[in-house]
Amino acid sequence: MKFDIELVGKIGSMALIREAEHDIDYNVFSRIGSELHPGVIWVSSGAVEIGRLDYIKRTGHELDGLKRDVMTDYSAQGQTILMEEYRRYIPSRYSVRQLLVEHTHFNDPEKREHIYQFLMRCIRQDAIPIVNYNDTVSFEENRRWELDQLRINGQKIVVECIDNDETASVISTLVHPKYLLLFTSVDGIYLDPKDPSTLVDSVEGKDAEEIIEAIDELQKHCFGASRDGAGGAKTKLEFIKEPIRQGTTVMIANSRYRISDVLSGKSPRTIFRTR
């Protein structure tokens, strides 16, 4: 099977910070950045949470106001820091480019093609694209209205992308990578989230539909999320179904491991693949 690129990877907000110390986890940025190279698209959450921590560090208190306004302000503050840290640790011989996306970009064929061409150019130009959802200009009320209008007008598949797990999966369906890696704060998918010994090592099938049947069963064991607003493991499993249908091998793993070790199987993970 022919793939357009090697890897689409994603890391969640809580995996980029040291929650107990209320600070960025620079080791995670260093570990990830050192392994990024042309042919990898990296989807990164973290702007809102990093912006929040930075604001508190500078002022001693959190922002007050409407949730949508606070999220906008934190995101705008965090984006600069997020990109600064990736630029710091990605090898200097590579360019680093930020791509801020919204749901409208993937629900419009021309915009989808424009994004695809941009991502393909990055490979040829030795550039690493860092993708994030554009929280700064897209707020919930406006987004919901736009999505409802698309459904009313008969569009069958409508993506939202407010969860970067969905963003990574939608990008995967666009660029057709060999691998989709979702980094999180746990080692993978568990049959019992309270029992680390129940980590599911692999989910395999003779074809994509057999894998998806197994995923449907796994979703019955998934509850909760790492933070407010996150979808949790059950939602992750829903988002990866379409990339799997297109032949992409999907892995869910802990961000404390190296990308290369997860891909090679040296580190714990849950892998979804055809036999």
Q: Does 232 have pLDDT greater than 90?
A: no
User: How far is CA 266 from each of CA 37, 98, 112, 201, 243, rounded to the nearest angstrom?
Assistant: 20, 30, 35, 12, 23
Token digits of residue 75: 């995101």
Highest mean pLDDT of the ranges 31-35, 132-136, 161-165: 31-35
pLDDT in tens, 6-37: 999 999 888 999 988 999 999 999 999 999 99
Local confidence band at 137 (pLDDT 50, 70, 90 cut-offs):
low
CATH of 5-274, one of 3.40.1160.10, 3.40.718.10, 3.40.50.720, 3.40.605.10: 3.40.1160.10
pLDDT in tens, 44-102: 999 999 999 999 999 999 999 988 888 889 999 999 999 999 999 999 999 999 999 87
CB-based burial of residue 185 (10 Å sphere; 0-12 exposed, 13-18 middle, 19+ buried)?
A: middle
The pLDDT of residue 138: 56
Averaged pLDDT of the chain: 87
170: Cβ contacts below 8 Å, ≥ 6 apart: 106, 159, 161
pLDDT in tens, 190-219: 988 889 899 999 999 999 999 999 999 888
